[in-house]
Structure 1
């Protein structure tokens, strides 16, 4: 595998070394893990297309991309409900 060198300020390098050490990783492994957490726009689009194909196959209905885009944000709604319930449990209001 080809590698490259990145020049960073000493403080940033030290910070990365500390983060890596806390996780039992090398700086290289830490940077690779961080890069994997943040996909590019093209990678996100590819995942979205693949996810939509799975949904189409599972439900057996040919939903167009436009219909997907107009559909309710189910995941977002679930997160909102969960957050609302957590706030109510703590007795706080947003």
Structure 2
């Protein structure tokens, strides 16, 4: 595999080197893993299209892209409810 050089501040380099050492990997491996974990806009769009196609074919829900876009953010709502429950619980403990 070909490699290249990127320029970052010394502070960023040192921080990345420490993270890599803590994870038992090289700096190059760490940067690769970080990059792979962050999909591009094109990759996110491809995943969204594939997920919507999955819903349409496997689950059998025949809705348009516009209907998907207008659907409630169920996962986001679950996260908000969980966060509120945690805040309420923490307030009762304090």
Query: Where do 4+ consecutive residues of structure 1 move more than 4 Å?
Result: none
Question: Which TM-score applies when normalising by structure 2?
Answer: 0.87
Unmatched segments (≥5 aa) in structure 2 = none
CA distance in 2, matches of 1:44, 1:34: 16
Unmatched segments (≥5 aa) in structure 1 = none
Equivalent residues in 2 for 1:6-45 (5 A)?
6-45=6-45
Displacement after TM superposition at 1:66 (Å) = 0.6
Displacement after TM superposition at 1:24 (Å) = 0.8
* C-alpha RMSD of matched pairs (Å): 1.4
CA distance in 1, matches of 2:70, 2:7: 45
Greater Cα shift, 49-58 or 8-17: 8-17
The equivalent of 1:47 in structure 2 is 47
